[in-house]
Every structure is written in structure tokens, then in C-alpha cells.
Amino acid sequence: MQRFINQYALITGGTNGMGYAVAEQFIGEGGTAIITGRSEETVLKATEKLGRKAVGIVSDAGNMKDLMHLQNEIKQYTENIDLVFANAGYGKFKPIENVDPEDFDELFNILVKGPFFTVQQMLPLMKKGSSVIFNTSVATEISMPNFSVYSAAKSAVQSFVKTFATELLERGIRVNAISPGHIKTNIFNNTGLNKEQIEDAVQHIIPTIPFKRQGDPSEIANTVLFLASREASYIHGAEIKVDAGISVIRS
Ligand SMILES: NC(=O)c1ccc[n+]([C@@H]2O[C@H](COP(=O)([O-])OP(=O)(O)OC[C@H]3O[C@@H](n4cnc5c(N)ncnc54)[C@H](OP(=O)(O)O)[C@@H]3O)[C@@H](O)[C@H]2O)c1
């Protein structure tokens, strides 16, 4: 399929994991992907792998200065953005007593202010028929210890799906979200856990997943591209769970 010929996507956090998979598939279907990441090194590495239809911008989704520059940087490449996948993020998981105000601000900056101001800044470039897709999380549905701040931040994004869908209706911009379950990405690398601790955490998680495996980033990308395509022309204000049923099936 070539559903995105001549289209541009902004994918925040496109150097790895789900964002990278979305960029790869979007390019594979004829589009150009503008990806962001925090460092020159990761952005360059990803754009080299993605090829000539990838554009990389170093931009920290938790930094207001970077967010406010994004529109001008993107205008060097295009005046139209057809898809914003507001995806950049990571988790830090701590018991309530150990969360300090800096941890709280860090997660809310990247996970809540990041997607809000990314979309705000892209709106002048978005025409009728374009679409916004937020990345929420299964963590909004399942209560897990140590997830208090992360889950609250993702719940705020769930709220944006509804309010943005209402406000952007008149402009013909569709707004939706995907809610991933446990997906095999680098998400644990920002948590401060070492390799063994990450492996241990994953081995504890797998038996709780109805399919007994982590999802592949490409399985998220399939859904994001569907939501961005004309096939989803009647889907607005929706959050699609891509989680192997973990949010409804208790093991
Ligand atoms: N994996 C899961 O099980 C899971 C489940 C539910 C939801 N999610 C959500 O999915 C999203 C993507 O995560 P992932 O699992 O694909 O993890 P990942 O493989 O670690 O990828 C995260 C991406 O976000 C970028 N990023 C992180 N902080 C950033 C910042 N401040 N500014 C700009 N880019 C930033 C990273 O790029 P650089 O390192 O180059 O900066 C990377 O490209 C996150 O919002 C996460 O909360 C993940």
C-alpha cells in the first residue's frame, strides 16, 4: 500500500521504539517522516537508517524552548503536516515516598506539556484531513505500584484526546490515540534500572500478558498508520488499545 504519498508526518521520539517503527512504515508507504529525539547522535543514526525520506530534528519534548522552535524548524522542509504522532516519552517508576518534585515535573514536562505544545505548534501547518495521534498507555487502565506519576501524566493525555477532538472538529483535524500495552522497546533504559533488573522486570511482566509476549513496535505502527489513513475517516476522539487484551483480561 502507498497511503501516504506526498504526505509529511511529525513523529516526536522517532529515533527508537514505536516512533521509529511508525517513521519506517510511513516512509515505506510513500511519505516523508520528520523525527525528533534528544541528541544529535540518536537522531543522525535513525535518519541514516530510515533513508532519504527522513528528516531529523534535535528537539527535547520536555523543553519549552525547543517546543517553541519546532514550527520554524519544520517550515524549512514543509508548510504542511498531515500527521502528528505525539509519542516522545519514557517512564520513571518510583514508590510514592521516593518521588521528589523534580521527578514529578520531569514526567509532566515530557509526557503532558510535550504533546500539548507540540500539537499547538503544529496547528498552523495542519489542514483539513490531517490527523493527530497521541500515545497514551495501558498504565491508565491498570493500577500498578510505582506508576503514580506516569499513569497520571498519561491520563492527562487521554483527556487531550477528548478536548482536542472537540476543539479541532471545525478544522477537520481528526484526533485519536493509541494505548499500547507492554511493547518491546528501549522504554526501560531511562528508568535507572540496570540490564539484569530490566530483564527481571520483563520476565515478571510476560506471564501477565494474555498473549504471553511483549508487543512488537511494528504492531503499534500498523495501528497508528491505520488511524492516520483514509480508512479511519470516521474515527475521531477514540483511543485504540493495542495491548493483547491486558486491560480487560486479568491473569
Ligand atoms: N514500551 C511500552 O511498553 C510502552 C507502553 C505504553 C506507552 N508507551 C509510550 O510509548 C512512547 C514511546 O516509547 P517507546 O516505548 O517506543 O520507548 P523508546 O524505545 O525508549 O523510544 C522513546 C523515544 O522517545 C524519544 N524521547 C525520549 N525522551 C524524549 C524527549 N524528552 N524529547 C524528545 N524525544 C524523546 C527517544 O529518543 P532519544 O533517546 O533519541 O531522545 C526515543 O526516540 C512513550 O510515550 C511511552 O510512554 C510505551
pLDDT digits (tens, 9 = 90+) for 34-68: 999 999 999 999 999 999 999 999 999 999 999 99
37 Cα–ligand 1 center, Å: 9
User: Best mutation site among 40, 90, 158, 186 for ligand 1, i.e. most ligand atoms within 8 A of its Cβ?
Assistant: 90
**Domains assigned to the chain:** 8-187+217-242 (3.40.50.720)
Confidence label for 125 from pLDDT (cuts 50, 70 and 90): very high
Per-residue pLDDT, 189 = 83
| Confidence check: pLDDT of 70 > 90 | yes
Q: Percent of the chain at pLDDT above 70?
A: 100
Q: What is the per-residue pLDDT for 145?
A: 93
Does position 194 have pLDDT exceeding 90, yes or no?
no
The pLDDT value given to residue 247: 95
Work out the average pLDDT over 180-203: 89
What integer is the mean pLDDT of 183-203?
Answer: 88
Write down the pLDDT at residue 197.
Answer: 86
Ligand 1 mean position to 223 CA, how many Å?
A: 17
pTM of the model: 0.98
Q: What is the mean pLDDT of the chain?
A: 97
**Listed range (1-15, 106-120, 149-163, 187-201) with the worst mean pLDDT:** 187-201
**Rounded distance between C-alpha atoms, residue 74 and residue 165, angstroms:** 24
The atom of ligand 1 lying closest to the CA of 217 is 16
Residues sharing a CB contact under 8 Å with residue 46, sequence separation 6 or more, in sequence order: 14, 15, 16, 20, 23, 35, 37, 54, 56
CA 218 to ligand 1 centroid distance, Å: 14
Assess contact for 43 and 35: CB atoms under 8 A. yes
pLDDT digits (tens, 9 = 90+) for 99-115: 999 999 999 999 999 99
Catalytically active residues, by annotation: 150
Residue 191: per-residue pLDDT: 80
Mean pLDDT of 6-16: 98
Range from 67-76, 133-142, 181-190 carrying the lowest mean pLDDT: 181-190
Q: Higher-confidence residue: 1 or 238?
A: 238
What residue's CA is closest to ligand 1, atom 36?
13
What pLDDT score was predicted for residue 167? 98
Residues within 6 Å of ligand 1 by CB: 12-19, 36-39, 42, 60-62, 87-91, 110, 135, 137-138, 180, 182-183, 185-187
The count of C-alpha atoms lying within 13 angstroms of the C-alpha of 96, restricted to the half-sphere facing its C-beta, is: 4
Distance of alpha carbon 186 from alpha carbon 182, whole angstroms? 11
Q: In this predicted structure, what is the pLDDT of residue 220?
A: 98
Given a cut of 90, whether residue 134 has pLDDT beyond it is yes
Cα separation of 200 and 215, whole Å? 17
* Polymer length in residues for the chain: 251
User: What is the model's pLDDT at position 139?
Assistant: 97
Ligand 1 atom closest to residue 182's alpha carbon, by position in its atom list = 3
Long-range pairs of 200-206 with CB within 8 A, sequence gap ≥ 24: 206/182
User: Please, what's the b/e burial string for 20-38 (b: 16 or more CB within 10 A of its CB; e: otherwise)?
Assistant: bbbbbbbbbbebbbbbbbb
- State in Å: Cα 87 to ligand 1 middle: 7
- If one counts every other C-beta atom within 10 angstroms of the C-beta of residue 103, the result is 14
